[in-house]
Amino acid sequence: MADDALARLEQTTSVGPIAHLPLWEAYTPDQVEVGAARLIEEVDAAFATLEGEVSPTWAGTMEPLEHLEHRLGHVVGVVSHLVSVKYTDELKTAFDAIRPDYVALANRMSQSRPIYDAMLQIRAADGFADESPARRRVVEESIRAMERSGVHLEGGAKARYREIQQRLAELSNDFSSNLVKQEQSARIDVDDPDRVAGVPEPILALAATRAVSDGVENATAADGPWHFAVNGPNYVAVIQHGKDQGLREEFYRAYRSRGTAPQLDNRPLLQEILELRQEMAQLVGFANYAEFSVAAKMASDVAAVWTLFEELESAARPAAEREYAQLVDFMRAQGAPEAEDPQPWDVGFWSERLRESLYDYDGERLRSYFQMPKVFDGLFSLVAKLYDVQIREVEPGSVPVWDESVRFFEVVDDSEVVAGFYVDPYARPGEKRGGAWMNTVVQRSRLLAGPGQSSSLPVALFVMNGRPPGEGAVGLMSLDEVRTLFHEFGHAMQHMFTQIEESGASGLNLVEWDAVELASQFNEFWMDHKPFLRGLTAHAETGEQLDLETIDRIVASRNFMVGNGTLRQLQFGKTDMTLHEQYGFGEGPDPFEIESGIVAQTVVTPSLADESMLPAFTHLFSGGYAAGYYSYKWAEVLAADAFAAFREVGLDNDAGVREVAQRFNDTVLGLGGSLPALEVYRLFRGRDAEPAALLEDQGLR
């Protein structure tokens, strides 16, 4: 039975030359628990054999290690993805059953002295300097990763390191799952039509549908009752458009208290996570987890991160104070009683009204112009123009997917398929965690090459949480959702366009975490090019493009409240860095006191004394951003500086843009982690990135 289950999990399919695609439907809870357990047993035995027979050569160490890591990572990666997008208690239980053994095996592999010693011999060999840059970097970074994983530790210290890693994996998974579970049951129920005034009709339709699924008969979008799931799309819609201050407050408090429900409380989890991270960092010779994290990033040290914070904050604070004063003046001019004591749930609503007043467009109505298929076509046309590739959708049903709304696309270069990607566009409350992200499905790898191929073809997936369309309707997108699409596709391009065939350095592998957001944030800048932005639009009923005047106002509004937006991101980054520098060493303020102090020092808009983002901050506690949230601002500097290269040749100069794009493709997108990010960026730009382009672009200098 276990062998059969494993065979099902490892079975893959192909579409043309794209291979190694998972059979998602095979990953049922019973198959996962039994089959993955057998996989771990087999990989563990194979790794033990490798340790006993390891040869200090690329073929004798790195290649067999890659085979084992691929086999293990393929199955566990699929399970992890499905827990995020098709959550069930049964699947989570199955994952929980195998995860401890998986983490234990991963820790053992990362702490293997025979493998580490073999890598040291590979690096010391006379011919190492003649290896490709990708191979040299894979070896160098593998050695460093093993040292950071405690390979040199002995006895109790090594055992404790493994215990910490095991526990951190459990806590991280529980942190994320608690949020999904809370969303399954959390509701804001409304039966008074006056209370939902201003809330967009599609959101009301979803809330009425939710009421029906909760057992209410005859609920309608027009008359209610409405059961709102407490999730991102609903929160943004109510906070920005709901006229009833009481409903806004109720939604604000509910959304800000995610991760604190009884039996699903993330607060003790995150405190334990922070404490264990500090202990782990100290075991391998770092003063704190912040130093441990930054040592593997593009930033030279923790001090360089704080220098960036200070430079950006000094530029943003005067603008933020002016913006908030303007907002309060506007509220008074509109006769808003709350202007005398603005509350957090008032800021989003009145900011949206101020933006409408200044730039004369309704963000909710703009959705009618941004039809998802049209936006995708525009994105794909841009990619074709810049990088001379075409993107085409594969016939639905011809490739296995995890949900009927998921689509699969091929990337074609000169009639040859070179990559593929999945898109999961819509929110599924209680089943799919919030936010947007990109992940890898198949690496570009020489060892996974099929017949006639030099390497396997890379496959990505990216996930969004857009507003689901009504029955028979086309999906409509907000401007923010369009930006999110461009952002995630930037990540996918770096994975798919890689020229590196050693999987350890292909795509995003070995790209320093604070440089990972470069390609994604760079992609967003095209949204501010007026001819391109207009080309994305077509009214859902008339097909007409958005008028030029509105396009001008949209682009003019791109820096609306940018000072406050910058301070908000700096609040996140400073909280993250301070927690990982200071918390977890015994006596001292708790994480929430640290957070509230930074909020008070950093932002100028109101907040509640007892609110905390930490219990729902998946980036820090179940993602990869621990002591690394600053990466968004660090990479934003890189992205603005990179896009400035395109502006310098003129965005309407097709030949010049293509030339710069080719250089961007050959370096930032193509080289992956085969060289340090600093060197890759210098190859593209001819110099280091400078903050000036970002500050000037945002009107902060």
Catalytic residue list: 488
The phi-psi region of residue 208 (left if phi > 0; otherwise alpha if psi is between -120 and 50; otherwise beta) is alpha
Distance CA 151, CA 145 (A): 9
Distance CA 424, CA 82 (A): 12
183 φ, ψ to 5°?
A: -65, -30
Tokens of 376: 């995708």
What value, to the nearest 5°, has the Cα angle with vertex 384 and ends 382 and 385?
65
Distance CA 657, CA 511 (A): 25
Measured torsion, CA atoms of residues 70, 76, 78, 84, in degrees rounded to the nearest 10: -140
Tokens of 257: 């208290």
Distance CA 476, CA 369 (A): 8
Crossing angle (nearest 10°) for helices 302-333 and 631-649: 80
Helix then strand then coil, % of the chain, to nearest 5: 60, 10, 30
> CB within 8 A of 311, min separation 6: which ones?
691
Distance CA 264, CA 253 (A): 17
Tokens of 430: 């209680």
Distance CA 670, CA 680 (A): 10
**Beta strands per DSSP E along 218-342:** 226-229
In the chain, the largest separation of any two C-alpha atoms, in whole Å, equals: 79
The conformation of residue 58, written as its DSSP 8-state character, comes to I
Q: 575-578 contacts: CB < 8 A, separation 24 or more?
A: 575/599, 575/613, 575/614, 576/620, 576/625, 576/626, 576/627, 576/628, 576/629, 576/630, 577/290, 577/302, 577/305, 577/306, 577/309, 577/627, 577/629, 577/630
Tokens of 176: 């994320």
> CB within 8 A of 172, min separation 6: which ones?
273, 621, 622
Distance CA 328, CA 125 (A): 68
Of 76, 59, 78, which Cα lies nearest the Cα of 67? 59
Measured torsion, CA atoms of residues 37, 42, 48, 50, in degrees rounded to the nearest 10: -140
Of 630, 636, 632, which Cα lies nearest the Cα of 575? 630
The runs of H, that is alpha helices, within 468-547 are 479-496, 518-524, 530-535
Tokens of 528: 């501010």
The 10 Å Cβ neighbour count of residue 686 is 9
Q: How many CA atoms lie within 13 A of 33 on its CB side?
A: 9
- DSSP 3-state of 127: helix
